Amino acid sequence: MNLKSLLFLVGVGFSYQAAAQNSVVDSLKGSLQAHLQEDSVRVNLLSQLAYKEHFDHPADAANFALEALSISEKINYPKGTVSAYRFLGAAFWAQANFSAALDYCLKGLKVADSIHNPQMQADLTGNIGVIYSSMGNYKTALTYCRSANAQQRQLKNELREAIELNNLGDCFFNLKLYDSALTAYNKAMIIGKSKKFEKATNMRNIGNVYEATGNLELALSYYYKARAASDSTGEHKGMTQARKSIASVFLKKHQYDLAEKELRECLDLAKKANLRAIIRDSYELLSKGAEAQGHLPQYISYFKLFTAYKDSIQNSSATSRIASLQLEYEMQHKQLEIDGLKKNAKTKAEELKWKNALLVSTSIGILLIALFLINVVRNFRHQKSLNVALAERNEEISRQKNELARQHDEVLALNEEIRAQQDEVISQRDILAEKNINIEMLHKKLTEANQNLEKTVTQRTAALQEQNHRLEEYAFINAHKLRAPVASIMGLVNLLELKHLADERSLILDHLKKSSWDLDQVIRSISKTLQQGMTAYDQQNQEHGNSEHSQSS
């Protein structure tokens, strides 16, 4: 990327950030115009505007702070008064009117002391240290900056602590204590890393240390970082100081054209913001550059401008004014301390009086407490005996409770057993009911059988009589009819065995055949008779058996 492109991008970034800064200021101004009531809200808006404008438009910032001061005093708003004094001091400091700046900051510190506001006291102490540092009174500045740093650390305000470390580093630097200065700057960078910290100022200050110790290239790299950071925020003081520092390195490297270019830009920005101290320092560096190059007319011109701005910033009357302001503040601070001691003495007297009353009250209280304790001991003993009796009673109750619980468990077990027995009885009752039904049915069948028994007996008697008749008939047949053919056959067989009856054999055979046929007829008659008797008997049994089966069904 060439130099023109770099300058273009830096210019675009500066324009964007400046527009953002202007938008905040415009927003505050719009809110101020919308809120015309003279109250704490308007005071805070005016104080914010004074803070935002004290670098770029210090005269406007002073006007805003003056109005805030007027309203705060009118409505008796001490915090607003302190803020107004502080930002008035900042506005005059930015214009290098250090006596006025110190005057307002000391007045603000006096009010902050009276209302016991630690944060405002710490902020104003740091501002006063910066003013003394700007006037070249670095030892006094170191005292104030150390005190401010300790207060901010105690308040655990890391952003303010980082800023005060930066201011403390400036004091060490101007006293040529470069190691201490670099330590303070680096510590400020570490603490303020995660905060909205003035990194541009911090990097420029680190560059100052390296420049003072002869490491010009490293110093120049920090100055360029500081310039880029300042240009990105659009903050005039940082932009001018970064360019002035870069020009200082170029002068030491005898690159006078580059130094003059940086100083011209620095002067343009400083004049727009009326930063008289920066203008003074720029003319001093320009005069040194012209002198080193042998440009005597330019040297004289720049030196005259440097002297004029130097004299306007601080002359003998201003120095005496500053000393008187410091003395006045110290006297007022001492008076506040005396008033505080008087107040403490009065407070201690009141405390002593209160302690005496408290001692009497305590004595009475101790007596009452003793009586109370005696009563408590007495009550305790009585209560202890009651507790023993109560414990015994509780033990008896517990025993009875356990016995009742055991009996309850037994009753529950008996209930379960009775319930089981009831279930068994119900089951047996159902079985008996079923058996009763069967018995009733059998009784009914028995009654019916008894009713039909006579008929059955008569029928069976008739059957038996019929059977007996058949048997008698059979016996008769067997005794008479069967025996006759058999006897004939036996006699004829005997005749056949006789040899002298051979001629009569055919006749005997005819008789034998006839007797055999007669025997066959008798046997058939017997079989028929037996068959008829058995059939009649079976019919009787079947009829009787079917009748019993139908009755049982």
434, part of any domain? no
Q: What is the per-residue pLDDT for 332?
A: 52
243, part of any domain? no
- pLDDT average, residue stretch 459-464: 76
For the segment 250-296, what is each residue's pLDDT rounded down to a tens digit? Answer: 999 999 999 999 999 999 998 887 888 889 999 999 999 999 999 99
534, part of any domain? yes
Q: Tell me which of 313, 337, 359 is where a domain ends.
A: 313
pTM equals 0.51
> How far from the centroid of its chain's Cα atoms is residue 129's Cα?
47
Classify residue 117 by its DSSP letter.
-
Q: What is the per-residue pLDDT for 454?
A: 72
Structural domain range at position 98: 31-116
Give how many domains the chain has, as a whole number.
3
Q: What is the per-residue pLDDT for 196?
A: 56
Confidence band of 22 (pLDDT split at 50, 70, 90): low
Q: How far apart are CA 223 and CA 231, in angstroms?
A: 12
340, part of any domain? no
Mean pLDDT of all residues belonging to the chain: 81
For the segment 482-537, what is each residue's pLDDT rounded down to a tens digit? Answer: 667 777 887 877 777 775 666 677 787 888 888 888 888 888 877 777 777 677 66
For the segment 157-189, what is each residue's pLDDT rounded down to a tens digit? Answer: 988 888 899 899 999 999 999 999 999 988 988
268, part of any domain? no
- List Cβ neighbours of 240 (8 Å cut-off, separation of 6 or more): 266, 269, 270, 273, 275, 278, 282
Question: 481 exposed, middle or buried (CB, 10 Å; 0-12, 13-18, 19+)?
Answer: middle
Q: Which residue has the higher pLDDT, 158 or 21?
A: 158
465, part of any domain? yes
Residue 15 has pLDDT above 80, yes or no: no
Q: How far apart are CA 285 and CA 307, in angstroms?
A: 12
Region of poorest pLDDT, from 129-133, 149-153, 257-261, 389-393: 389-393
- pLDDT average, residue stretch 59-77: 93
Confidence band of 463 (pLDDT split at 50, 70, 90): confident
394, part of any domain? no
For the segment 219-242, what is each residue's pLDDT rounded down to a tens digit? Answer: 999 999 989 988 888 888 889 989
Q: How far apart are CA 82 and CA 47, in angstroms?
A: 10
Write the DSSP string, 391-408.
HHHHHHHHHHHHHHHHHH
- List Cβ neighbours of 73 (8 Å cut-off, separation of 6 or more): 81
Confidence band of 425 (pLDDT split at 50, 70, 90): confident
Question: 109 exposed, middle or buried (CB, 10 Å; 0-12, 13-18, 19+)?
Answer: buried
For the segment 338-368, what is each residue's pLDDT rounded down to a tens digit? Answer: 655 666 666 676 777 777 777 788 888 888 8
Q: 73 in helix, strand or coil?
A: helix
Q: What is the per-residue pLDDT for 222?
A: 92
Confidence band of 21 (pLDDT split at 50, 70, 90): low
For the segment 188-209, what is each residue's pLDDT rounded down to a tens digit? Answer: 888 877 555 567 888 888 999 9
For 280-284, the CB contacts below 8 A with 24+ separation are 280/96, 280/306, 280/309, 280/310, 280/313, 281/244, 282/240, 282/244, 282/247, 283/309
Q: Tell me which of 96, 116, 136 is where a domain ends.
A: 116
93, part of any domain? yes
Q: Tell me which of 50, 81, 116 is where a domain ends.
A: 116
